[in-house]
Structure 1
Amino acid sequence: MKEIRTKIQIHAPVETVWNVLTDVERYPEWNPFIKSLHGNLDEDEIIQVELQLADKKPMIIRPKIVSVQEFQELRWKGRLLLPGIFDGEHIFELSESEDQTTCLIHREKFSGVMVPFLKKLLDVNTLKGFEMMNQSLKKRCEALRGE
């Protein structure tokens, strides 16, 4: 098991952050990591996600939504080929502070026999993708707050 975990404080209410995060049709406008996402963000739905890892070709995954808790959590789980080869559970967790800012914890839990062989890709490229997305989400949400 391996986990990548990032955290960012966004100066916008949790509703704003949630609305941007779940407005998947607009991802191509601002999201450098998840270039597109197609499908319904409802539990048990299969979605199509186009990921752009730093310095890599885009790749398409088809994970299953495992949790949607409005203004709190969005979580999906995907795998490469068969279960146990390379599985990833992608998680966005939101919490609002008293000052109307939002803490986003953006993480992914990886498991399977291929994880040790992909350590460098995960620690460098995937982490960089998370951080780029976090910064872009922050910028977009804070700009909306100012409107």
Structure 2
Amino acid sequence: MRQIRTEIHISATPEQVWAILVDFTAYPEWNPLTPGLRGEPVPGSRLTLPTALIPGISLTVPMRATVEEATPPRRLAWRSDVIAPGVASSLHDFELTPDEDGTHLLHRETVTGALAPMMWPMVSRFAPLFDRLNQKLKERAEAPR
């Protein structure tokens, strides 16, 4: 197992952050990692996620995923079987935890399977995009309404 793990504090309630995370139609306005995500945030539903291919370049590759968990306003997770289950899979998840000043966001990508070590050099290059996504989510959640 290999994992990108990023965290950020957001001065907004978990409900406010959750509303942004599950509004997939608005992702092109703020999400630099999966700007064209389509689907429903419902367990078992299929997602189409054009994913940034190279950090900093607007070239995307089409990916498919299945929503594993959508527990408002706590956790949103989807799994992509990059090759096949057990060979190479990734779990992308957002965990929202309330704190005294808003929300703690834990944002991860966990890569598993026999080919995970070989995929890791490519996947690990996305860590800066995770930080950028977190910052954009923070800005959107904290913007005056």
How does the TM-score come out when normalised to structure 1? Answer: 0.91
Deviation at 1:19, TM superposition (A): 0.5
Aligned counterpart, 1:32:
32
Deviation at 1:121, TM superposition (A): 1.8
Q: Does 1:113 align with 2:119?
A: no
Instruction: Kindly tell me the number of residue pairs found equivalent between the two proteins.
Output: 143
Q: Does 1:97 align with 2:91?
A: no
Q: Does 1:44 align with 2:77?
A: no
Aligned counterpart, 1:76:
78
Separation of aligned partners in 2, 1:9 and 1:55? 24
Separation of aligned partners in 1, 2:2 and 2:100? 32
Q: Does 1:19 align with 2:50?
A: no
Separation of aligned partners in 2, 1:73 and 1:33? 18
Aligned counterpart, 1:131:
131
**Deviations 1:8-32 (Å, cap 9, x if unpaired)?**
0011111111111111100001111
Deviation at 1:55, TM superposition (A): 4.6
Deviation at 1:128, TM superposition (A): 1.3
Letter in 2 for 1:127: A
Unaligned 5+ segments in structure 1 are none
Separation of aligned partners in 2, 1:118 and 1:38? 25
Aligned counterpart, 1:65:
67
SS in 1 for 2:37: strand
Instruction: Tell whether the 8 Å contact from 2:90 to 2:112 is kept in structure 1 after alignment.
Output: yes
Letter in 2 for 1:35: P
